[in-house]
A and B are shown apart, each in its own frame.
Chain A
Amino acid sequence: MYVSHLSLLDFRSYAAVDVELEPGPNAFVGRNGQGKTNLVEAIGYVATLGSHRVATDAPLIRAGAPRALVRTRIVRGDRASTVELEITPGKANRARINRGQPVRTRDVLGILRTVLFAPEDLALVKGDPDGRRRFLDQLVVQLLPRTAGLLGDYDRVVRQRSALLKSLRGLRAAGRSADLTTLEIWDAKAAQLGAQILAMRLQLLQALRPLVAGAYEQVSDADGAAELGYRASAAGAGDDDGGDGRALLPDDPGAAPPSAAELEQALLAAMAAARSQEVERGVTLVGPHRDDLVLTLGGLPAKGYASHGESWSFALALRLASYRLLGGGADAGDAAGAATPPALPAGGTFWDPDLGTDADPVLVLDDVFAELDVRRRERLAELVAPARQVLVTAAVPGDVPPGLLAARFDVTTGQVRRAA
């Protein structure tokens, strides 16, 4: 799929702008603060109903305007559809598809799919576990939408359970014995929901491991093998060695990870083992909300050991791998020379329904090239160039490899002009 037309009214710095886009590479070039990222942010909003930069809608509206309008035309195969979103902060946004009657904004999801690379991706490698958990969970939700409800329920259960632990701590401090029956109920709920999340993450990781290793090799000159691991707060809690929890993920990338039923037992056991500590601290210490995605490079943890360039390669590899997992690059696989078709293991929770032709997500590379050295730039350009559509933003045209400058747009103070 590709975006053939983008028009914005009162969105961010743009009073009104119309841009005709091409399939294949498109580059938006302009000095900082001219509005390049605003363009790709609008396209991302149509794909995800959210911005990758801010959590609320208010900053998306041009100062002084009551609402913003984003209109896109998306071409898939030989069919084009228009999606129009009216963003009004503090009110329900409105959506129209193909100039028809207003529909629920949620119905817009799935018409356009994007995979975004942004400078913030570096935090996946160097930042806190929180960002890595979100990376995994967002992918899981894309593969299995119902998981969004599961994640919300789990979060609620953990908060209830932690509140109960705090009140038990209060009772214990007052020297009174506490009734643990209700804690057992919350243990059971947390274990049941947590195990499902855990099982999905592990299955996702098994599918992701070869893709990330492959993508890393392509982006860098193979300065070590990129591996994914999973550090579970549940594993090893009862062991004497206090293991790092890697045991949950099988060493063999082809093997099936533990089932949700097995994980539920493991979580229950870990909660029982951690109980007195949990009551003492009034916090739920075991479960997917305390886990981490472990990134290793040649056997050493990427966080702390990897150089800046290597960290960047790893972040790019994670994004490229998710692009391929979501079905991207399958059409252009052989042209790229190395891309392997994405493989979701058969019989797992996830599978790869046939999304019809031209389902390739649109790749968005926001200000990424400036962060990379020349070699990585060229390699990344080679890898993304065959995609159905790539949108690139850059402050300096020299940062963008020539292969991606086929359709170049100059962005200056709220104006977008196609460069000759």
Chain B
Amino acid sequence: MYEGAVQDLIDELGRLPGVGPKSAQRIAFHLLAADAGDVRRLVDALTEVKARVRFCEVCGNVAEAERCRICLDPRRSDEVICVVEEPKDVVAIERTREFRGRYHVLGGAINPIEGVGPDDLRTAELMSRLADGVVQEVILATDPNVEGEATATYLARLIGPMGITVSRLASGLPVGGDLEYADEVTLGRAFEGRRVVGR
């Protein structure tokens, strides 16, 4: 245990995701040794992010105004909504530069172990966005794990009866990789989801 302030800092850092006690200690001593200006910039960035950033009232993505840049962009199509779990998933899909529709961030996935049910996610907001009949397709891009699949199934059951196309991202082989390096589960899934390319 260290003296007051140092231990407080280590404790606070240790509460961050992915930071264990050893890493927290290392970061704390790095900060102690660092230039006062550098630390000030970090403090400012932390304060700024809490003060300025909020969540888009439409899609739930991080934003600096009431609406995020994506929801404000008039060149994007209102007919397709891509549903993701977290804001970082929006960034991942945006990097592809393929998708020109809008997003909807749920804020997680259905996870009873963690006590997260559909009401804890932004599902009601999604349903009200679909009510006016403009949206033609909903792409479910939740994670390809047990919780993400359950969330996708839940949403598909909810949206299906509204006459809107519901699609799910494919799972399969990573592009640019070697087939021999794929694990059995991924390769098995890719076999299940194969498509016809000629007859």
Residues of A within 8 A of B (CB): 106, 145-146, 148-149, 153, 156-157, 159-161, 163-164, 167, 181-182, 185-186, 188-189
Contact = CB atoms under 8 A, between A and B. Distances in A.
A271 to B, nearest CB: 15
Contacts of B112: 160-161, 163-164, 167, 182, 186
B154 A185 contact: yes
Interface of B: 110-113, 115, 117-118, 145-147, 149-150, 153-154, 157, 183-185, 187-189
Contacts of B188: 145-146, 149
B185 A160 contact: no
A156 B109 CA distance: 14
B154 A189 contact: no
A118 to B, nearest CB: 27
Contacts of A157: 146, 150
20 contacts: A106-B183, A145-B184, A146-B187, A146-B188, A148-B184, A148-B185, A149-B185, A153-B146, A156-B145, A157-B150, A160-B112, A160-B146, A163-B112, A167-B112, A181-B157, A182-B110, A185-B150, A185-B154, A185-B157, A189-B150
A160 B111 contact: yes
B184 A149 contact: yes
A9 B118 CA distance: 54
Contacts of A159: 113
A164 B146 CA distance: 14
Interface centre among B145, B147, B185, B189 (most CB of A within 10 A): B185
Given A149-B184, A185-B110, A189-B150, 14 more contacts: A145-B188, A146-B184, A146-B187, A146-B188, A146-B189, A160-B150, A161-B112, A163-B112, A167-B112, A181-B157, A182-B110, A185-B157, A189-B146, A189-B149
A282 B119 CA distance: 21
Chain A contact residues, majority secondary structure: helix
A153 B150 CA distance: 11
B56 to A, nearest CB: 26
A255 B149 CA distance: 35
A55 B97 CA distance: 46
A181 B184 contact: no
A2 B113 CA distance: 47
A189 B110 CA distance: 13
A160 B184 contact: no
Nearest to A145: B184
A158 to B, nearest CB: 10
A153 B111 CA distance: 14
A181 B150 CA distance: 12
A185 B183 contact: no
B156 to A, nearest CB: 10
B115 A167 contact: yes
Given A160-B111, A161-B112, A186 B150 contact: yes
Contacts of B115: 167
Nearest to A163: B112
Contacts of A182: 110, 112, 117-118, 154
Nearest to B118: A182
Contacts of B150: 157, 160, 185-186, 189
B187 to A, nearest CB: 8
Nearest to A189: B150
A100 to B, nearest CB: 15
Nearest to B180: A107
Contact of B113 (A145, A146, A163, A189): A163
A185 B187 CA distance: 26
Nearest to B191: A146
A148 to B, nearest CB: 7
A163 B112 CA distance: 6
A163 B145 CA distance: 17
A161 B113 CA distance: 8
Contacts of A185: 110, 150, 153-154, 157
A164 B187 CA distance: 32
Contacts of B157: 181, 185
Contacts of A148: 184-185
A157 B146 CA distance: 7
Contacts of B111: 160
Nearest to A162: B112
A154 B110 CA distance: 16
Contacts of A163: 112-113
Nearest to B146: A156
Q: What 9 pairs across the A-B complex have the smallest Cβ distances?
A: A146-B188, A149-B185, A164-B112, A145-B184, A163-B112, A156-B146, A163-B113, A185-B154, A146-B184
A167 B116 CA distance: 11
A264 to B, nearest CB: 14
Contacts of B110: 182, 185
A255 B60 CA distance: 55
